[in-house]
Structure 1
Amino acid sequence: MFRDNATSSSNYVRPAPNPTAPNAPSHLTYTLITSIAYLMYLLIIPFYVPYLFVLQSLTPRPFPSWTLNRRVTTRLNKLWVTLTGWWIPPLPADWDDWKIAPPGEPYIEAQKKGEIEVKVIRLDPVGKEYIKGIAEVEHVKGEVRPGFWIDPLVALSKGGVGEGKVILHVHGGGYIRGHPLWTPFPMEISKSTGVQCLSVNYRKTLSPTSSFPAPLLDVLSAYIYLTRKLDIPPRNIILLGESAGAHLALMLSQYLRDLGLPQIGYLILSSPWSDFTLSYPSYNYNSNYCQLSPIRLGQAVKSATRYFTPDFLESGYASPAKMVSGGWKYLREEGTKVYVHYGGRELFRDEIEDLGKGMKRDGVDVRMRLDPDGLHTSGMNGEAGEVFKKDVLDILDIQKRLKD
């Protein structure tokens, strides 16, 4: 039976889509845009790089790990994103939804080494009985989507409780880009835990037919596949997400609440995007460090939420950092454990901390891990990535067999 808030949440749906919402341009148009931006980038660099060298020599390091190379690299990345961030990009022409995309070479290498197996499965659209409240948008329908199974060829020691569990991974990319296997992150978590992982290739919100609730319906289809077709208990599902994928994981948990469906056992989040209003102070005081562009984030939000009212942006669905008191109690009641890793120098810092405070206020078993000098999604690799993996092993109480 559907809960009352599934019906009330339909009040967020607009009678007509926002006419100012951007659409992804054609590949030809975007190639022209990026070519012009690249020309501007090349013209700016001869002046900008010397400025960064002078800045490094005349001003103290913002924090101990901020080397000259890191300062220059981060600033140049931010310059490029700012120049191109006024437009949402089309999906790369050479990507295939049903295959390992060009950035996915680590998966090919891991398969050759016998570390993992990867297979692609079909995720069927959810039935009409699962489309209520915020998902009732006339112009957005369910579609068949690919899911990527990552099977780690790693054994667990006796007594480990990883057996029987499964990771449901939701990748990041601002809802406008990304692929399940475009980073090694889900593979590394799967290998470190010895737990199989299903990563969903949800639709990107680049057009009227793929805006919200399309991504929500796609990840819900993966949940239904795991719990109904494979009979995996929801308590054994580890919902893993980074950035926008972590935001979508939080939205899925709320939608499961609306539908009266059982919650997943674990929410494991790296730098969750937690505020669609883009209004927290860390957008200003961390602007010199974080590679994210508020301009592009704003365009992404506008495209994603074209069928929703301005009030939706203030709701717990779109901005989980702003969840009302008691809004997370369903996680406490169902015993869902939450882990959040985030960077001290990322734009999302303040909203992520408010997300954690809200969960703690409502009695949720939540563990917050701050990487003090870390940037956005620092927990996906490097030293912070090792901390992330160790924390996950601890939360899941998985003991791995040590190799001789």
Structure 2
Amino acid sequence: MTANVVEQTAAPAGTQNQDVLRELYADWARIMETTPGLTMRLFRSIFDEWHQPTVEPEGVTYREDTVGGVPGIWCLPQGADSTKVLLYTHGGGFAVGSASSHRKLAAHVAKALGSVSFVLDYRRAPEFTHPAQVDDGVAAFDALVASGIAPENITTIGDSAGGNLAIAIALAVKEQGKEAPGQVIAFSPWLDMENKGETLVTNNDTDALITPELLEGMIAGVLGGTIDPRTPLANPLYADFSGFPRLYITAGSVESLLDNATRLEDRVRTAGVDVTLSIGEGQQHVYPFLAGRSALVAQEFEKLAAWYTK
């Protein structure tokens, strides 16, 4: 049985606070445009500010750990069911972002879903090219299963490039003949390694961060100039989704990667997957980063929790 639910979520008047995220993105864009020779270390330092729009969630503790040889941060909401784990892969074009930049967002989601979350510090490009990031996710998934967590109680989840990984990890597990995660969640997934989505053009003036040029550099970093951009575990728009777990996708209506989400929804629906797509009206890339300050995001997490528990 499949579900094709495409929902347009309107921001309540006066409560969206989206300027905080948009202004952070615009500031990053200005820095990248005006800083020739920006080193990878400084590039990563800039994107480690990604947590700033997110309010620190109450009643959550954090613990650094290594799972399956991959370092990361546990997000442990008070009273959460520790037998249900969100395996979170952060965004950042496979090159930037970290468990630290995403721990607050992952904690908000875990708290909303009544579960715990482990945010991976997977190996990043360009030092490590595809499929190192997918391999790290599969290693962590396997370790969780070996520790006694049932596969159906594991959710692979991520944003942007991490949304790609959340999908690719589930695909890789399925390809290896193992039981797949129970469900997959992708916030503003970046999937198109060919860099030819139409909303890269139509939303170019409304997206405060994403440009085709920025994506080209990140594609070169993760594929290393040797990997076909149509490789399914690198570009899930080319994957076989038969037997894929149920999937929840979000995207902002003004972001340049919007059609990555809509094309994904169409592809998995055609394959018979139970899929829900929720589009935040007027929202930027990975708008759930506004957790704790946005009524729209609170509403989105309520919908996500209802989906998760059904």
TM-score (norm 1): 0.64
1:329 maps onto 2:237 in alignment: no
Q: Cα 1:274–1:108, aligned 2, differ >3 Å: closer, same or farther?
A: closer
Q: Which runs of 5+ in 1 are unaligned?
A: 1-63, 96-100, 125-143, 156-161, 399-404
How far is 1:356 from its partner?
0.3
Q: Cα 1:180–1:79, aligned 2, differ >3 Å: closer, same or farther?
A: same
Q: Which runs of 5+ in 2 are unaligned?
A: 1-12
Task: Give the corresponding residue for 2:118.
Answer: 198
Instruction: Return the letter of the residue paired with 1:192.
Output: A
How far is 1:117 from its partner?
2.0
Q: Cα 1:342–1:85, aligned 2, differ >3 Å: closer, same or farther?
A: farther
Among 135, 144, 153, the residue aligned to 1:217: 135
Q: In the comparison of the two structures, how many residue pairs are matched?
A: 289
Determine if contact 1:75/1:289 at 8 Å carries over to the other structure. no
Determine if contact 1:88/1:300 at 8 Å carries over to the other structure. no
CA RMSD of aligned residues (A): 3.3
Percent identity over the alignment is 20
Task: Give the corresponding residue for 1:147.
Answer: 72
Instruction: Return the letter of the residue paired with 1:173.
Output: G
Determine if contact 2:84/2:115 at 8 Å carries over to the other structure. yes
* Structure-2 separation of matches of 1:86 and 1:356: 38
1:273 maps onto 2:193 in alignment: no
How far is 1:94 from its partner?
7.7
Q: Cα 1:278–1:383, aligned 2, differ >3 Å: closer, same or farther?
A: farther
- Pairing of 1:155-234 with structure 2 (within 5 A): 164-183=83-102, 184-207=104-127, 210-228=128-146, 230-234=147-151
Determine if contact 2:130/2:234 at 8 Å carries over to the other structure. no
Q: Cα 1:275–1:84, aligned 2, differ >3 Å: closer, same or farther?
A: farther
Among 210, 213, 216, the residue aligned to 1:292: 210
More strand by share: 2
User: Which structure would you say has the larger RCO, counting Cα contacts within 8 Å and 6 or more residues apart?
Assistant: 2
Q: Cα 1:85–1:170, aligned 2, differ >3 Å: closer, same or farther?
A: farther
Instruction: Return the letter of the residue paired with 2:63.
Output: K
Among 233, 250, 269, the residue aligned to 2:167: 250
Q: Cα 1:292–1:222, aligned 2, differ >3 Å: closer, same or farther?
A: same
Instruction: Return the letter of the residue paired with 1:350.
Output: D
How far is 1:123 from its partner?
2.9
Structure 1 residue runs of 4 or more that deviate by more than 3 Å after TM superposition: 64-67, 69-88, 91-95, 101-110
Among 257, 261, 275, the residue aligned to 2:178: 261
How far is 1:300 from its partner?
1.0
1:122 maps onto 2:66 in alignment: yes
Instruction: Return the letter of the residue paired with 2:123.
Output: R
TM-score (norm 2): 0.82
Determine if contact 2:203/2:256 at 8 Å carries over to the other structure. yes
